[in-house]
Amino acid sequence: MFRIGQGFDVHQFAEGRPLMIGGVEIPYEKGLLGHSDADVLLHAVADACLGAIAAGDIGKHFPDHDQKYKDADSAVLLQHVWNLVKKEGYQLVNLDCTIVAQKPKMAPYIEQMRARIAELLEGEMSQVNVKATTTEKLGFTGREEGIAAQAVVLLQKK
């Protein structure tokens, strides 16, 4: 049996925060604002996984009013979500993601992100694709106010 899920997340830029995307710290003049480390890509991946098993979203599992998740490492949150996926008896078929950012350039970090996400989802790099696009300076991402990310995951019952 196959299950598909999709995730979407947005975080605004903020000064004085590290920029975490896909579990990788990207050297940049600003980071993203959030209750957790605001890793917008890992949040989209986590939501896609939760969607695939009809288990709600990350806000339900990790409420942003809970101090436990203040500055939380989103990799740890995704690991928790992946344990729920495994408990339901599913494994990864493939994951495809898009980061929407005018800046910074993601290309130098894409392979590292794929490797980290594959590790977190206990799969191979060949099962994980990460893309990036600008919005040609249009909209909130184009004005460099924040970053968005989308993810689609396909799971198969073992």
Ligand X SMILES: C[C@@]1(CO)OP(=O)(O)OP(=O)(O)OC[C@H]1O
Minimum gap (Å) between residue 57 Cβ and ligand X: 8
Q: How far is the CB of 137 from ligand X (least distance, A)?
A: 25
Does residue 35 touch ligand X according to CB under 6 A?
yes
Binding test (CB under 6 A) with ligand X, winner from 3, 5, 7, 9: 9
3-state SS, the chain, equals CEEEEEEEEEEEEEECCCEEECCEEECCCEEECCCCCCCHHHHHHHHHHHHHCCCCCHHHHCCCCCHHHCCCCHHHHHHHHHHHHHHCCEEEEEEEEEEECCCCCCHHHHHHHHHHHHHHCCCCHHHEEEEEECCCCCHHHHCCCEEEEEEEEEEEEC
- Nearer to ligand X among residue 85 and residue 147 (C-beta): 147
Is 63 a binding residue for ligand X by CB under 6 A? The answer is: yes
6: helix, coil or strand? strand
Backbone dihedral angles phi then psi of residue 15, each to the nearest 5 degrees: -70, 150
Of the candidates 2, 4, 56, 64, which one interacts with ligand X according to CB under 6 A? 64
CB 102 to ligand X: min, Å: 20
Which residue, 31, 14, 129, is CA-closest to 74?
31
> Where along the sequence are the contacts to ligand L45E5XJ5 (CB under 6 A)?
101, 105-107, 132-134
Choose, by CB under 6 A, the member of 59, 89, 108, 139 that binds ligand X. Answer: 59
User: For ligand X, which is the closer residue by CB, 32 or 132?
Assistant: 32
Choose one: 28-36, 78-86, 90-98, 106-114; the region binding ligand X (CB under 6 A): 28-36
Binding site for ligand X (CB under 6 A): 9, 34-36, 38, 43, 58-59, 62-64, 69, 72
Q: Which residues are annotated as a binding site for a divalent metal cation?
A: 9, 11, 43
